[in-house]
């Protein structure tokens, strides 16, 4: 499944290079215009990131999100600075189908596990951004990749498996925004080790061949951000090359 992604700052569609707010590209169309184009091209799931909310949860772009999250025919997942249960309640009430939780999922797994139990595993997506060190360990930085959490991916997943976590969006930080290809080996390993999780691969997709390389891994979805925004291929082409599209 292809999952188009849109990052938002001050109501505008943007892309950051490897999470750096200083390396920002801004696009001319509105989030709703882009969403409509993706829907017409065949997208059934979309991913929105509120980068203002990620910096400061009191500055969440609710008016912008309201125009895109309550879609009658698409599954919409929204993330960016989800730090409290009230944030989850607010986004679900706004119309989001899934709430994406990043840093908090790493720092407070007991709390987020409770939310999975309370709201259901279809409503929560863990966004785990991975930095692979020289020893091959999968570490999980937080706070926009600035802080080292000291937590390893496998150790964290062990805490969520009993809660029946369903959706995990996994990004190899070194690939994000580069269009240089994705970490196929990482997703192959994760899908084999955790077959009950619907993995969303994110970061580095720059060509249709990069998408095709993920087919054997078993990932359930592929996040497409910069590659679509910059016209490396069309969403229709991406959907056509994925099995059971």
**Mean residue pLDDT across the chain:** 92
Q: Is there a domain that residue 182 lies in?
A: yes
Q: Which pLDDT does position 67 carry in this prediction? A: 94
Two tokens at 168? 């995990």
Q: Are 37 and 68 in contact (CB under 8 A)?
A: no
On whether residue 111 sits in a domain, the answer given is yes
Q: Does residue 245 sit within a domain?
A: no
Nearest to 213 by CA among 164, 180, 166: 180
pLDDT at 23: 84
Cα gap 154→139, rounded to integer Å: 9
Q: Is residue 152 included in any domain, yes or no?
A: yes
State the pLDDT confidence band at 245, using cuts at 50, 70 and 90. low
CATH number at residue 58: 3.20.20.70
Q: Is 129 a catalytic residue?
A: yes
pLDDT at 145 over 60: no
Res. 50: pLDDT tops 90: yes
Predicted pLDDT of residue 24: 87
Residue 147: its pLDDT value, please? 62
How far apart are alpha carbons 134 and 152 in whole angstroms?
14
Residue 18: the pLDDT is 65
Smallest Cα–Cα separation from 60: which of 26, 94, 27?
94
User: What pLDDT digit, counting tens, does each position of 98-110 carry?
Assistant: 999 998 999 999 9
Question: Taking residues 196-204, what's their average pLDDT?
Answer: 95
In a domain, 97, yes or no: yes
CA-angle at 183, arms to 181 and 187, nearest 5°: 135
Average pLDDT of span 34-60: 94
- What confidence category does residue 141 fall into, taking pLDDT thresholds of 50, 70 and 90? confident
- 36 is known as an active-site residue: no
Burial 205-225 (b: 16+ CB within 10 A, else e): bbebebbebbeebbbbbbbbb
Which stretch, 140-144, 174-178, 214-218, has highest mean pLDDT? 214-218
Average pLDDT of the segment spanning 224-232: 93
* CB-CB contact of 4 with 232 (8 Å): no
In this structure, is residue 90 part of a structural domain?
A: yes
At residue 82 the predicted structure's pLDDT band, cuts being 50, 70 and 90, is very high
* Of 91, 173, 162, 84, nearest in space to 128 by CA: 173
What is the model's pTM? 0.93
Decide if 41 is inside a domain. Answer: yes
Mapping DSSP to helix (H, G, I), strand (E, B) and coil, where does residue 177 land? Answer: coil
Nearest-angstrom CA–CA distance, 229 and 210: 16
pLDDT classification of 33: cutoffs 50, 70, 90: very high
With beta carbons less than 8 A apart as the criterion, state whether 199 and 190 touch: yes
Domain extent for 179 = 2-240
Q: In this structure, how many other beta carbons lie within 10 angstroms of the beta carbon of residue 124?
A: 26
> Is residue 141 within 8 Å of 106, Cβ to Cβ?
no
SS3 per-residue string spanning 187-221: HHHHHHHCCCCEEEEECCCCCHHHHHCCHHHCCCE
In this predicted structure, the answer to whether residue 174 has a pLDDT above a threshold of 80 is no
Please state the domain count of the chain. 1
In a domain, 161, yes or no: yes
- From the list 52, 87, 97, 129, the catalytic residue is 129
């Amino acid at each position: 499944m292809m999952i188009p992604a849109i990052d938002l700052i001050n109501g505008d569609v943007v892309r950051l290079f490897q999470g750096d707010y200083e390396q920002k590209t801004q696009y001319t169309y509105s989030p709703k215009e882009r969403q409509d184009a993706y829907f017409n091209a065949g997208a059934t799931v979309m991913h929105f990131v509120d980068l203002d909310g990620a910096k400061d949860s009191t500055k969440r772009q609710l008016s912008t999100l309201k125009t895109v999250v309550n879609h009658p025919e698409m599954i919409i997942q929204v993330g960016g600075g989800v730090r409290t249960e009230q944030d989850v309640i607010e986004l679900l009430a706004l119309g989001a189908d899934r709430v994406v939780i990043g840093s908090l999922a790493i720092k407070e797994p007991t709390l987020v596990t409770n939310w999975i139990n309370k709201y259901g595993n279809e409503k929560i997506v863990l966004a785990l951004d991975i930095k692979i060190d020289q020893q091959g360990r999968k570490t999980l930085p937080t706070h926009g990749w600035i802080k080292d959490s000291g937590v390893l991916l496998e150790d964290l997943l062990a805490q969520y498996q009993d809660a029946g976590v369903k959706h995990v969006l996994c990004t190899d930080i070194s690939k994000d925004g580069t269009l240089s290809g994705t970490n196929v080996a990482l997703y192959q390993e994760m899908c084999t080790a955790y077959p009950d999780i619907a993995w969303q691969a994110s970061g580095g997709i720059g060509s249709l061949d990069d998408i095709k390389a993920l087919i054997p891994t078993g990932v359930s979805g592929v996040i497409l951000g910069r590659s679509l925004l910059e016209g490396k291929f069309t969403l229709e082409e991406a959907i056509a090359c994925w099995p059971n599209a």
